[in-house]
Amino acid sequence: DTGVSQDPRHKITKRGQNVTFRCDPISEHNRLYWYRQTLGQGPEFLTYFQNEAQLEKSRLLSDRFSAERPKGSFSTLEIQRTEQGDSAMYLCASSLGSDRRDEQFFGPGTRLTVL
């Protein structure tokens, strides 16, 4: 399979716990994005990597959130001390960045429920 994969697909946690999500982009894609989507809303941008460099972070990404992309391959998104408001679908996307279309390919998402 050559698509973007995300793990886990579902995560239920208790308030105050830490969670970590993983995204594996399409192998030759150097750009990787994280978005968050709540029910009935469009996805909201969280952060963007070019290779291993994190180039942009949204104000939505509070200090409880951290994202990494070691060696410019897979990426992880960690949320510390989860809150009920963190419940959402977390989407990862990757792109080649080689032309003006710069099509972003999205993974299936990780659905987080904070109890």
Partner 1 sequence: DAKTTQPNSMESNEEEPVHLPCNHSTISGTDYIHWYRQLPSQGPEYVIHGLTSNVNNRMASLAIAEDRKSSTLILHRATLRDAAVYYCILRDWQGAQKLVFGQGTRLTINP
Strand extents, DSSP E, 1-115: 5-7, 10-13, 19-24, 31-37, 44-50, 53-57, 65-68, 75-79, 88-95, 105-106, 110-114
Q: Nearest-CA neighbor of 94 among 105, 84, 83?
A: 105
| Interatomic CA distance for residues 115 and 110, integer angstroms | 16
Cβ proximity to partner 1, 14 vs 40, nearer residue? 40
CB of 84 to partner 1, least distance (A): 22
1 neighbors 87 (Cβ within 8 angstroms)? no
What tokens appear for 26 in the block?
């399409």
Cβ proximity to partner 1, 19 vs 109, nearer residue? 109
CB of 39 to partner 1, least distance (A): 12
CB of 48 to partner 1, least distance (A): 6
Residue numbers at the binding site for partner 1 (CB under 8 A): 4, 31, 33, 35, 41-45, 48, 56, 91, 93, 95, 97, 100-109
Cβ proximity to partner 1, 48 vs 79, nearer residue? 48
Cβ proximity to partner 1, 8 vs 16, nearer residue? 8
